[in-house]
Structure 1
C-alpha cells in the first residue's frame, strides 16, 4: 500500500471500493447510522461508521492499544434480499461490527454477492454488486476505537473523501 494520503495512519486513499475488500477490515467499526435510500430501481444501503484504520500497539508503560480512526460512509448499491436483526434485550446496544463477509451465493448469480455485516448485537445480510467507502476526514489517533460526536462531526452520509490537504 502506498502511504501518501495520510502517512501517520497508513491510509493510502480516501475512497475505497469492493476491489479493495481483501485489504480492508471492519472489526470494531462502530455504526452511528443506517439509511436505506430509495431509488428508481433498487435501494442503496448507507452506513455511517467509525472505521479503524490502524491499531497501535501499546507502548511499554501502557497496557492498552490506541487507534487511528476516521468517520466513513459505506455505500452498497442496488441492495436486495435484505434481512437482519437487532438484539435489544439488554437495552440499546452500541452497534459494533465484528466482521464484514463477502459470500458467494448458491443460486449461480455471482455478480451479486451475498454480504454479511456481522455485528456483536446485530446482523445484516443482503445482496449487492459492490460498495464504495468514503473517508470523510483524516484519521485521528485516539485511545479507543470510536470517535466522539464532536470529533466525527455528528452523523452523516456524505459521499466524498477528504483530499488530504
Structure 2
C-alpha cells in the first residue's frame, strides 16, 4: 500500500498518469467568472486498487474536486439507475481550431459514465484536488458520512 502524506493537486501535465474508472460522481456545478465558466465535479477518486490473490479488492479513496476551466459547448446526458453515477473513462482531444498559441491549448473533453451517460464540453485546462487523505474502503466509494 502506498503512503500518502499530503493532499495532491494535479493539473494538465499529470493527465496521462490518472485513472478515472469507477470513480463515483456526487455533484456537478458551474462557477461563473467575469468572462468564463468553470465546470466543477465532486467525485470519490480511487487513488489505489488493492487486489489480493483471492481476487477480492479494497480501495484507497479520497473525496476530490475536478475543475475544468473556461468551458464551452457543455452537454450533459445522465441516466441514473439505482447505483448512482460512475465514470468509465475521461477522454480529451486537442481542439486545433481553438488552440491559438502553443501555451494556450484547448481540448474537447468527454466523460463517459455507466449506462451510456456522458458529459462533454470544451475546456482550456483541468485540475484534480484530493480534499482529504485517502481512506481504505471495501467498496468503490467512501461512505457518505465520511466524505
Aligned partner (choices 67, 75, 80) of residue 72 of structure 2: 80
Alpha-carbon shift at residue 7 of structure 1 (Å): 3.9
Cα distance 1:13–1:20, how it changes in 2: closer, same or farther (>3 A)?
farther
Partner in structure 2 of residue 42 of structure 1:
36
Query: As a proportion of its length, which structure holds more strand?
Result: 2
Aligned partner (choices 50, 59, 63) of residue 71 of structure 1: 63
Partner in structure 1 of residue 106 of structure 2:
112
Count of matched residue positions in the alignment of Structure 1 and Structure 2: 141
Secondary structure of 1:146 counterpart = coil
Aligned partner (choices 125, 133, 136) of residue 138 of structure 1: 133
TM-score norm. by structure 2 comes to 0.86
Q: Are the aligned partners of 2:46 and 2:61 in contact in 1 as well (CA < 8 Å)?
A: yes
Q: Are the aligned partners of 2:7 and 2:132 in contact in 1 as well (CA < 8 Å)?
A: no
Decide which moves more: 12-21 or 135-144: 12-21
Partner in structure 1 of residue 86 of structure 2:
96
Decide which moves more: 79-88 or 28-37: 79-88
Q: Distance in 1 between matches of 2:6 and 2:74?
A: 32
* Large movers: runs of 4+ above 4 Å: none
Q: Distance in 2 between matches of 1:76 and 1:108?
A: 19
Segments of 5+ residues of structure 1 without an aligned counterpart are 1-5, 153-165
TM-score norm. by structure 1 comes to 0.78
Q: Distance in 2 between matches of 1:118 and 1:78?
A: 20
Segments of 5+ residues of structure 2 without an aligned counterpart are 100-104
Q: Distance in 2 between matches of 1:131 and 1:86?
A: 21
Alpha-carbon shift at residue 109 of structure 1 (Å): 2.4
Alpha-carbon shift at residue 34 of structure 1 (Å): 0.7
Cα RMSD for the two superposed structures: 2.0
